[in-house]
Amino acid sequence: MTEVFTYIDSHYSTLPNRTLIGHSNGGVFSLHTLLSNPDLFTNYLVISPAPWWGDAEIDSNFASIKELTLAKNLFITLASEPGRYYAHMMRILANLKSHAPNSFQWQYQHLAEHTHESSVYPAIYAGLTYLFNDFKYSPSEELAKYGDVSPIIDYYEGLSKKYGYTVDIPHSVLAQFSSQQLELGRNEQAFETLNYFVKHNPKVAYAHQSLAFAYMRAGQYLKAKEGFSHALTLYKKNGGTDYTVVDFLNNMISDANTKLMH
């Protein structure tokens, strides 16, 4: 396994947030990996695990789950299966309820309308939605109206601490939040958000573009022109080739320049 991880990490852009998905016998393998070597993966998506373990073996294996310290996530499903599958699953769930520590997040879903075979894709969709729910963040209107960017920073710092690596705030979250603040007339707070955006992403064209938009809305056309120009330079420097983006930024530079002339 370490050889596979080393190869993948050296050939692809990866993060230390690995997900293991297993169905039927693969589900048993996934549970075995979680219980015997949990640090190999962060997320475990287990679909209709075949009932090969005996009751005593389930109890013995799951007793070790209380020792987990780092955040781990499990999504486990059962379809419309024979009675042995159901009894096996109820034993697993009872052990999870008894032994899972607070750092271990898990959810069970019964896909009663599906068979052992047809449940795979619905389970994967539902499971990935659950397992990566932490990473889906949308700033609330209330926060934009009364708060500042600090709760967003705190949220992603907490996420980083939970998973043991730096989880950066998505560019879209900062851009959305600053736009909400501007719409509410909270220009000072919006510029605070955007300056944070640029400070932590100095080589990202979108960050400078977003700040330039705010300058346009605030009537600071010289700073807007400089911001759009810098965004265009960065976009080309970073290998951007989409002519619609280039034309858009050029149009914004021209628009800012026209407003400067009046």
Q: Is 56 exposed, middle or buried (0-12, 13-18, 19+ CB in 10 A)?
A: exposed
Identify whether the C-beta of residue 60 lies closer than 8 Å to the C-beta of residue 90: no
Q: What is the pLDDT of residue 145?
A: 96
Q: Is 99 exposed, middle or buried (0-12, 13-18, 19+ CB in 10 A)?
A: middle
Percentage of the residues of the chain whose pLDDT score is greater than 70: 98
* Tens-digit pLDDT profile for residues 158-183: 999 888 889 999 999 999 999 999 99
* Tens-digit pLDDT profile for residues 17-61: 899 999 999 999 999 999 888 888 999 999 999 988 888 888 888
What is the H or E stretch that residue 40 is in? none
- Report CA 77 to chain centroid distance, whole Å: 22
Q: What is the mean pLDDT of the chain?
A: 93
* Tens-digit pLDDT profile for residues 179-219: 999 999 999 999 999 999 999 999 999 999 999 999 999 99
2-135 fold: Rossmann fold (3.40.50)
What is the H or E stretch that residue 152 is in? helix 150-163
The residue ranges of every structural domain in the chain are 2-135, 143-261
1 pLDDT more than 70: no
143-261 fold: 1.25.40
- Cα R_g (the chain), whole angstroms: 25
